């Protein structure tokens, strides 16, 4: 870290304070442009220790923000993936940092070339509310591994978690290494407008467009982890009960507030009702109760809950059939437990929305045009397999795609005929947990991927270096051009 005095980091940073903080990190990134392996490892270990030592504190902060979100759910949804990411960075960091030495073309020998991997400088990270620990710290870990300085702006919709992260990070990192700024969308916009060396944003496609426009003013490279309508395809060869269970898990984890949650499901025509029954059984298996159940997350705010109710009302007005499944969140509690549960759960339990299936949907319905981001699953019937890929390809490219079935040829056809950020076959969500697989979107669902080495490279400048040999024959290509040059060119052509 530098010895320059650090600016005061405001909890709700104004423009001047944010600019001063950026300038401080920018100077540090230029004065100490090449952090060593030991320095990078130390930063990752501090972040890893922070997560391990303050596990309960972080989970309690998340629970306070959502109202109902149990520690086991946060372990699965946030902490487990984050721990795996930190461990992977530490395990492979030394190899990732090493120069890469490609083969030198014959016409340049005996020169040699290598690719030097260096930090880009100062990285801005704007993280979302739905997985407020994982989606803040996983990209931060990748940026630190790559040797960068980081300004992290967590979501204002999870104020307890954001404050907890600010306090914990401020205690173990210098402001010229990793700093947290808090505030609303105004602060996020101010951060995006800075001349950062890279900007990483996770959120909606609509906001992602604004972030990209702000970054473009400074030609700031961006990574945009967005969303979209991720389809789940149930092939005629699929085990329907198994598919319904895994789709229900992917849909209802975090109450559907997941960017890669299945947004709608395509099932063979005539099997919609059977799928619905299997889905209802899966919901009952995983969530015997809804109200007050810590395994079933509350929607983050009443505004988000109202938006889902509006989507359902629009669909019903246009002819959809709405089918609630599983136990009702509004069902009265038993006489023995009702007063205690109501006192503890209200008002957050009122945001534990009962899972819903929607049948007889049409493209003009709002829930078939917007990302749902909640426990509402439209069921779309298809007549033949070609209709599946036609339906998907008529829409913006999704962040994720899920396929269930046993027909390898059909699986291959769907993979070759569609483009999505990532895919899980015969399950949902799991591709995000594989650190060896880049995670990211395509088109409207995002720009750029991270996780594992892909994340390290996302925040790295790969500098090309050619080292000329004293025995170089490059002068043979200098003018004036004549017979000697023509002879050399003929030889080169034969060797290429």
State the catalytic residues: 225, 259
Question: Considering only CA atoms, which of 282, 274, 221 is closest in space to residue 247?
Answer: 282
Peptide bond preceding 347 in cis form (omega within 30 of 0): yes
Which residue in the block uniquely carries the two structure tokens 């969140």?
329
The set of residues, in sequence order, having a beta carbon less than 8 Å from that of 276 and lying 6+ positions away, is 323, 325, 357, 359, 379
426: three-class secondary structure by DSSP: coil
Q: Where are the beta strands (DSSP E) in 185-252?
A: 198-202, 222-225, 231-234
Q: Are 459 and 475 in contact (CB under 8 A)?
A: no
CA–CA separation, 44 vs 87, rounded Å? 9
Tokens 């969530």 sit on residue: 287
SS3 179: strand
d(CA 118, CA 51): 27
Residue 258, token pair as written in the block: 């997941």
Residues 212-216: contacts with CB under 8 Å, at least 24 apart: 212/447, 214/189
Q: How far apart are CA 264 and CA 266, in angstroms?
A: 7
> Would you call 454 exposed, middle or buried from its count of C-beta atoms within 10 A (0-12, 13-18, 19+)?
middle
Q: Round to whole Å and give the CA distance between 401 and 412.
A: 13
Residue 30: partners with Cβ closer than 8 Å, 6 or more residues away: 121
Distance CA 471, CA 377 (A): 68
Which of 187, 88, 73, 208 shows the shortest CA–CA distance to 450?
Answer: 88
């Amino acid at each position: 870290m530098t010895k320059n005095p650090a600016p005061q980091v405001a909890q709700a940073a104004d423009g001047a304070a944010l600019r001063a903080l950026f300038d401080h990190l920018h100077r540090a990134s230029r004065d100490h442009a090449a952090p060593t392996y030991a320095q990078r490892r130390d930063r990752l270990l501090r972040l890893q220790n922070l997560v391990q030592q303050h596990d309960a504190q972080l989970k309690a902060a998340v629970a306070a923000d959502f109202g109902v979100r149990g520690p086991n759910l946060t372990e699965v949804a946030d902490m487990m993936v984050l721990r795996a990411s930190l461990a992977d960075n530490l395990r492979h960091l030394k190899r990732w940092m090493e120069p890469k030495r490609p083969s030198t073309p014959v016409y340049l020998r005996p020169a040699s070339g290598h690719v030097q991997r260096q930090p880009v400088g100062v990285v801005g990270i704007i993280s979302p509310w739905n997985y407020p620990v994982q989606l803040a710290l996983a990209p931060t870990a990748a940026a630190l591994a790559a040797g960068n300085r980081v300004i992290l702006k967590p979501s204002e919709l999870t104020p307890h978690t954001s404050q907890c992260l600010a306090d914990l990070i401020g205690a173990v990192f210098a402001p010229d290494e990793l700093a947290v700024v808090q505030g609303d969308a105004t602060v996020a916009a101010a951060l995006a407008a800075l001349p950062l060396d890279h900007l990483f944003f996770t959120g909606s496609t609509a906001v992602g467009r604004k972030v990209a426009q702000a970054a473009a003013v400074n030609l700031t490279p961006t990574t945009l982890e967005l969303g979209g309508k991720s389809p789940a395809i149930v092939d005629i060869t699929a085990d329907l009960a198994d598919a319904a269970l895994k789709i229900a898990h992917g849909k209802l984890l975090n109450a559907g507030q997941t960017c890669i949650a299945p947004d709608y499901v395509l099932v063979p025509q005539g099997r919609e009702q059977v799928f619905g029954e299997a889905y209802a059984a899966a919901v009952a298996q995983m969530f015997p109760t809804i109200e007050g159940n810590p395994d079933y997350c509350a929607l983050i705010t009443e505004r988000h809950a109202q938006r889902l109710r509006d989507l359902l009302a629009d669909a019903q007005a246009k002819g959809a059939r709405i089918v609630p499944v599983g136990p009702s969140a509004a069902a009265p509690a038993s006489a023995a437990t009702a007063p205690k549960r109501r006192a503890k759960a209200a008002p957050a339990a009122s945001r534990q929305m009962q899972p819903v299936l929607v049948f007889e949907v049409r493209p003009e319905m709002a829930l078939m045009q917007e990302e749902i981001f909640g426990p509402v699953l439209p069921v779309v019937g298809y007549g033949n397999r070609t209709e599946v890929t036609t339906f998907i390809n008529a829409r913006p490219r999704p962040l994720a795609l899920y396929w269930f079935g046993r027909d390898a040829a059909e699986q291959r056809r769907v993979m070759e005929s569609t483009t999505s950020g990532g895919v899980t076959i015969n399950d949902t969500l799991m591709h995000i947990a594989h650190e060896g697989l880049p995670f990211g979107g395509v088109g409207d669902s995002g720009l750029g991927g991270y996780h594992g080495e892909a994340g390290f490279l996302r925040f790295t400048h790969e500098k090309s270096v050619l080292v000329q040999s004293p025995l170089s024959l490059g002068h043979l290509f200098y003018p004036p051009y004549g017979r000697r040059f023509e002879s050399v060119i003929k030889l080169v052509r034969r060797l290429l």
